[in-house]
Structure 1
C-alpha cells in the first residue's frame, strides 16, 4: 500500500522549526538549509511546500497566530463562564499578546519579523493589515459590548479607545521583549489603560 503522507504535519513541522530559528537568529540569518536541519527534513521538501522565505514567513505567522487566537478564545470562554467583568476578560485575552513566556515570546518575534518584512513586501503587508484589522475589530466590539453593559461610558469613541489599548499592548510587548518578563508589571500597566476606558465596572481590572 502507498504510504499516507500527512502534508499538514510536514508544513507545521517546517513552520515550527522556522519559528524557532527566526526567534533566535532573525530573518536574514535563516536559510532553507538551516530550517531543513532544524526540522529534520530535506531542503527539497521545504521547497516543495514553500516557494521562498516570504511564503514560509507568512505560513509561520498564520500558524503562530492560530495558536494565540485559540488561547484568547479559551480565556474569553473561561471569563464568560465565570461571570467576570468585560474589562477583566479583555485584559486576560490581550495579555496573550505579551511575550511573558517562551511560547508568547516566540510568537511576538514572528509577528515583529513579519511586520518588518511587510514594509518592503506588498503581499506580507496585506497579511499584516488583515491581522491588525481583525484584532482592532475584536477590541472595538468588546468596548461596544461594554457600553451596552454599563462598563463603558456611552460617549466613548470605541474605535479610538481600541486603537489606544492596542498601541499600549504593542508598546508593552516591545518593552517586555527588550527588558524581560520580570522587569516591570506589564499586566498591571495594561490593566490601568483598559481601566480608563471601562470606567463603569469598578475601575482598573483586578489581577
Structure 2
C-alpha cells in the first residue's frame, strides 16, 4: 500500500475516533472500540497506529486540519472578515461541536502528557498566527496584532465551552453580535 493510501486509512480511522470521542468521551476511545466502529480488527488498527496515543494524536491533527480548511475558506471568501473566521471556529453548529468535544478531552490530556501539550501549543500558536494575519490585513496600523489575536481566541474558546455545556446560553446571533462587537473594538477596519 502506498504511503498516501496508508495516511488516508489513518485519517479515516482518526475521524471515527473523533466521532466516538464526541459522542462518548475520551475514555471510550479504546483501540478495540475504534476498531469495532471502523469495522476492522484491532490488528488492522494497530498496523496503522503503534498505540492509542498515536491514534489520538492523529485525531487531534485531523481536527487541526479541519481548522486550517476553515481558515483557508474564510480567507478565500473575504480576507478581512475576521468575524466570519471566528464564527467558523466557535461551537455553534452541530458539526463544530463534534470537533470541540474531543478537543476538551485532548486539552485535559495535554495537562499531563508532553506529546499532547506540544500539539496543543503548536495548534494555539498556529491559530493565533492565523487570527493575527487577518488582524494585520484588517488594520495594518494595529500595533499589537498578537495581543488582539489572543483575546479573540480566548473569547472563541470561552463561548464555545459555554455553548457545549449550555446550548441555550448563546444563540448563533448572540455569538455573532458578541464577536462583532469585540472585533470592532479591538480591530476597527481601516
Fold shared by both chains (TM-score > 0.5): yes
Greater helix share, structure number:
2
Structure 1 distance, partners of 2:13, 2:132, is 35
Contact kept in structure 2, 1:101 and 1:181, CA below 8 Å? no
Q: Distance in 1 between matches of 2:68 and 2:137?
A: 20
State the shift of 1:48 in Å: 1.2
Structure 1: gaps spanning 5 or more residues: 81-85, 149-153, 202-207
2:108 alignment counterpart: 116
TM-score by length of 2: 0.89
Which residue of 172, 186, 199 maps to 2:175?
186
- Quote the offset at 1:72 in angstroms: 2.1
**Partner deviation per Cα, 1:6-59 (whole Å, 9 max, x = no partner):** 323321221111111101111112211111111111101111111222211110
SS of match in other structure, 2:26:
coil
2:53 paired with 1:54: yes
With structure 1 as the length reference, what TM-score do the two structures score? 0.82
The answer to whether residue 158 in structure 2 is matched with residue 171 in structure 1 is yes
Could you say which structure has the greater relative contact order, defined with CA pairs below 8 angstroms and 6 or more residues apart?
2
Alignment root-mean-square deviation, CA: 2.1
Following the alignment from structure 1 to structure 2, what is the Cα–Cα distance between the partners of residues 96 and 18? Answer: 22
The alignment covers a number of residue pairs equal to: 187
Measured at CA, do residues 172 and 51 of structure 1 come closer, stay the same or move farther in structure 2, by a change above 3 Å?
same
2-side partners of 1:15 and 1:104: how far apart? 16
Distance 1:198 1:39, change over 3 A: same
Which one of 58, 76, 96 corresponds to residue 104 of structure 1? 96
Q: Which residue of 1 aligns with 2:17?
A: 18
1:136-179: per-residue Cα shift (whole Å, max 9, x none)?
1222222223332xxxxx46422211111111011011011112
